[in-house]
Amino acid sequence: MNIHEYQARDLLRRFDLPVPPHVVASTAEEALGAARDFGAPVIVKAQVHAGGRGKAGGVKLARDVDEARQHAEAILGMTIKDLVVGKVLVAPAVDIAREVYVGVTLDRAEARPVLMLSAEGGIDIEEVAQRTPEKILRAHLHPWRGLPGYEARRLCFQVFPDDARAALGLARICSRLADAFDQIDATLAEINPLVLTKSGELLAIDAKINLDDNALARHPDFEALRDLDAEDARERKARAKGLSYIHLEGDVACVVNGAGLAMATMDLIQHYGGRPANFLDIGGSSNPEKVTTALEIIQSDPNVRVILFNIFGGITRCDDVAQGLLMALESSPPRVPIVVRLIGTNEERAREMLQGASLETASGMDEVVQRAIAAARGKGGSS
């Protein structure tokens, strides 16, 4: 789950990270009030679930309070990466001497969290990572001992080679960020930039946190941080109906029961040269309504050119899935071909039910995937 900068700042403060105060405003008048309280200059920042706000014109320095009101007026309602700005953050501006990047994320290849640091933080960090990856310093976290202090200090002295005070301060910040990452079950906790001010203070003036969806059950209070407006509408609807759906870029939609079979189906689509349009696990129980909802969600994606059903009936009964499929076909005829593989519990009954329905069936996994890809291409020749 992605959260806003202002929420991430609140979380990081709990771990004693040096985050300057802020106020969140949803009108230009509120922003003006905040600027008056802090005293100019202030920074006005768009609050959207997207990076690169600075480059998009969503971060503006105001030299006086009236300018703060003007910036807020311009930024509120602005669109950044398809997201409409509904709130701005107002904070006292800081005098920046240096901008450093510091973040903790999961290194899936190493199966451990990793601390990343760079002396060249700020809005060009993606470019730094791509063009000069050696400028991103890394230290892995131990699964239960966390970040070794000596490792943090070793890297921080590379960031601030002639400033021991800043290097040691940065090392403490790294340890706290690693603690925060661990305790809130984040998949990403990032401060970019962490700045050294002209008076020698270290301050976290931006914060980005992604929370691990699979750990949210351990943090019931985090549910309040969810911004429904900022989430994919299809994923939201799926979650509400108990389906596990993730939108992808391809054109072969798949409806599968069980996460493992869904992954294997997606692998096979790739293997035969197709591209999956989604991950979808309709779950173990077989409620016909889940199938109709799944079809609604899938068909609202304009990229979809075929729908592939791959159901292995164990607890799930093939006749229930067939029932859901027929109900869906009746209420709204599909705009794309459907290719179905129903195997296992009550498959004969399902086959009888589907006889005469306008869909293709297949019995093998390779076969159903190959037919689906062919159907997607037949519909307009995607490559």
Active site residues: 101, 190
Tokens of 336: 């794309």
Bridge partners of 190, per DSSP, are 103, 208
If the CB atoms of residues 116 and 243 are measured against ligand GDP, the closer one turns out to be 116
Sheet holding 59-62, edge to edge: 23-25, 88-92, 42-46, 59-62
Bridge partners of 155, per DSSP, are none
**Shortest separation between residue 124's beta carbon and ligand GDP, angstroms:** 9
- Cα separation, 343 vs 365, in Å, equals 10
- Cα separation, 34 vs 20, in Å, equals 14
If the CB atoms of residues 61 and 315 are measured against ligand GDP, the closer one turns out to be 61
If the CB atoms of residues 89 and 325 are measured against ligand GDP, the closer one turns out to be 89
Could you say which of ligand GDP, Mn ion, none residue 99 binds, taking C-beta under 5 to 8 angstroms by partner kind? ligand GDP
- Residues 6 or more apart whose Cβ sits within 8 Å of residue 94: 20, 43, 195, 197, 203, 205
* By the rule CB under 6 A, 201 interacts with ligand GDP: no
Strands 96-107 and 42-46: unpaired
If the CB atoms of residues 47 and 192 are measured against Mn ion, the closer one turns out to be 192
**Shortest separation between residue 121's beta carbon and ligand GDP, angstroms:** 7
- Residues lying near Mn ion in the complex (CB under 5 A) are found at 192, 206
- Pick the binder of ligand GDP from 45, 98, 153, 176 (CB under 6 A): 45
Segment near ligand GDP (CB under 6 A), from 44-52, 265-273, 284-292, 361-369?
Answer: 44-52
Helices 288-299, 233-240: axis angle to 10 degrees equals: 180
- Which residues between 61 and 120 bind ligand GDP (CB under 6 A)? 61, 93-94, 96, 99
- Pick the binder of ligand GDP from 4, 9, 22, 53 (CB under 6 A): 53
- Pick the binder of ligand GDP from 123, 168, 246, 327 (CB under 6 A): 123
* By the rule CB under 6 A, 176 interacts with ligand GDP: no
**Shortest separation between residue 183's beta carbon and ligand GDP, angstroms:** 24
- Cα separation, 154 vs 133, in Å, equals 18
Bridge partners of 117, per DSSP, are 102, 137
**Shortest separation between residue 67's beta carbon and ligand GDP, angstroms:** 14
If the CB atoms of residues 202 and 295 are measured against ligand GDP, the closer one turns out to be 202
Sequential DSSP letters for 6-63: HHHHHHHHTTT--PPP-EEESSHHHHHHHHHHH-SSEEEEE--S-S-TTTTT-EEEES
Binding residues for ligand GDP, how many (CB under 6 A)? 18
* By the rule CB under 6 A, 205 interacts with ligand GDP: yes
**Shortest separation between residue 110's beta carbon and Mn ion, angstroms:** 25
If the CB atoms of residues 123 and 326 are measured against Mn ion, the closer one turns out to be 123
If the CB atoms of residues 50 and 374 are measured against Mn ion, the closer one turns out to be 50
381 exposed, middle or buried (CB, 10 Å; 0-12, 13-18, 19+)?
Answer: exposed
* By the rule CB under 6 A, 193 interacts with ligand GDP: yes
Q: Give the residue closest to Mn ion by C-beta.
A: 206
Q: Please report, for residues 63, 199, 270, 280, 291, the alpha-carbon distance to residue 257 in angstroms, rounded to integers and kept in the order given.
A: 57, 59, 19, 8, 10
**Shortest separation between residue 25's beta carbon and ligand GDP, angstroms:** 16
**Shortest separation between residue 9's beta carbon and ligand GDP, angstroms:** 10
Bridge partners of 24, per DSSP, are 89
- Cα separation, 303 vs 148, in Å, equals 47
Q: Please report, for residues 52, 245, 249, 328, 341, the alpha-carbon distance to residue 307 in angstroms, rounded to integers and kept in the order given.
A: 36, 14, 14, 13, 11
Which residues here bind ligand GDP, judged by CB under 6 A? 43, 45, 51-54, 59, 61, 93-94, 96, 99, 122-123, 192-193, 205-206
